């Protein structure tokens, strides 16, 4: 099974990145693992349907807002 998330640490703070190539540079905080997993899943589906990473970058925050999320990505 493919890794969904990748983790890095900077000064003891965990940084979370989705493992999909379309969103691998999207940074999430350690308490935002669910949102990072959602970004990964959306990227997988976007790739299957020919959606560009640019369009996904606009779609993802809209989905978070619909889900009433208050993380930085939703703003």
Q: What are the pLDDT digits (tens) for 14-41?
A: 999 999 999 999 999 999 999 999 999 9
Q: Which residue has the tokens 């493992």?
A: 19
Distance CA 73, CA 61 (A): 6
Each domain of the chain, given as residue ranges in start order, spans 5-74
Average model confidence (pLDDT) for the chain?
Answer: 96
Directed axis angle between helix 33-48 and helix 53-66, to 10°? 130
pLDDT of 53 reads 96
pLDDT of 1 reads 58
């Amino acid at each position: 099974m493919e890794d969904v998330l990748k983790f890095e640490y900077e000064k003891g703070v965990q940084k979370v990145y989705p493992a999909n190539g379309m969103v691998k540079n999207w940074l999430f905080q350690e308490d935002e693992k669910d949102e990072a997993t959602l970004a990964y899943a959306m990227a997988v589906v976007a790739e299957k349907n020919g959606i560009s990473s640019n369009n996904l970058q606009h779609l993802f925050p809209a989905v978070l807002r619909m889900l009433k999320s208050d993380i930085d990505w939703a703003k």
